[in-house]
Amino acid sequence: MAMTASANATPTGPATPTLLAPIGWIGRAASAILGHLGASLLLTFAAAGAVLRGRIHADEPSLRVATMHELSWMLGAGLPLVGLVHVAMGSFLSMQAYFGSTFVDGTGAVVGVGLLRNLASIMTGLTLAGLLPGRIVPELRRARNAATAGDDAASRPSPGRLAAARILAAVAATPLLSLWGCVVGTVVGWKSSEALMGLSTDMYFLMLVRMLWFRDVVGVIVKGMTFGLVTAVLACAEGLADGGSRPGADEAAALTTSVVRAACLAMAAILLINMTWFLFVYHAVPIYGPSLLQPPTP
């Protein structure tokens, strides 16, 4: 009897009923997400402070040099990935006109405006959300562990400085890559419409220029900067977190979990921001309303 009672008990009290276990899982997940977002916000403030303070130690690289170093690898790795993604986007938008056969002359506008208004920024953001954590999280985890093992606490770089260069680079890289994706998708859509529908080059780019507004370019830059900021902050917060410092196989498993968690949170945040932008800017602000021609009516 005593052995049965001890087997059903937990070190902290009675066992949780099975039906209530999902509530505990949801609560723990919600608490973890809120804690992670709070740490990310504090890290953003710390990075902003590091930018304002500038270089503290004479032997450390300047923030501009560190940012350009990070920006170079982001662009080097992002250009082919974003380009390949927008090959598919440009051909997809062009083929919609081919299969629908209702707005063939406006294919250039459909491809160009569609990429600038929504697809280029969100697809670039999602691509970088999967790319950046894979490098930033292990890199910052190694830097944190090396700083913890060092004896000279005064020479250790602050978390805000470690994150600042990566955040600034991501904020600059995402809109640049989004515009690169627009160029690739537009060119692919042009060649696809020319091969499938025989659409002339003049008509394709004429409709694109007629329907393209300056606000669309502003939108892709603003959203690109926001997506880059969110992705870099979440990846840096995950890389600088205290978890994952256990030795051996646990360290590798924790690192993998951190990378996946940062990527998933960044993608969810990008989708939420994009939906919010649509509701409160495109849908609510008159100047961001539909700019394409109305479909023909019977």
- Is residue 179 in some structural domain? yes
Q: Give the domain range for residue 216.
A: 61-286
Which has the minimum average pLDDT: 22-36, 112-126, 248-262? 22-36
pLDDT higher than 70, residue 283: no
Measure Cα distances from 62 to 6, 69, 150, 233 in Å: 61, 11, 22, 20
- Is residue 131 in some structural domain? yes
pLDDT higher than 50, residue 10: no
Q: Is the pTM of this model over 0.85?
A: no
- Is residue 91 in some structural domain? yes
| 220-249: pLDDT as tens digits | 999 999 999 999 999 999 888 865 444 544
| 139-186: pLDDT as tens digits | 988 887 776 665 555 556 678 888 899 999 999 999 999 999 999 999
Higher pLDDT, 284 or 260: 260
Give me the percent of the chain exceeding a pLDDT of 90: 32
pLDDT higher than 60, residue 6: no
pLDDT higher than 60, residue 290: no
- Is residue 114 in some structural domain? yes
Average per-residue pLDDT in the chain? Answer: 80
- Is residue 101 in some structural domain? yes
- Is residue 273 in some structural domain? yes
What DSSP element (H or E) covers 10? strand 9-10
Q: Which of 35-44, 62-71, 142-151, 286-295 has the highest mean pLDDT?
A: 62-71
- Is residue 121 in some structural domain? yes
Rg, Å, the chain Cα set: 24
pLDDT higher than 90, residue 266: yes
Q: How many domains does the chain have?
A: 1
- Is residue 37 in some structural domain? no
Cβ–Cβ under 8 Å, residues 266 and 174: no
- Written as one string, the DSSP assignment of 119-188 is IHHHHHHHHHHHHHHHHHHHHHHHHHHHHHH-S-GGGSPPHHHHHHHHHHHHHHHHHHHHHHHHHHHHHH
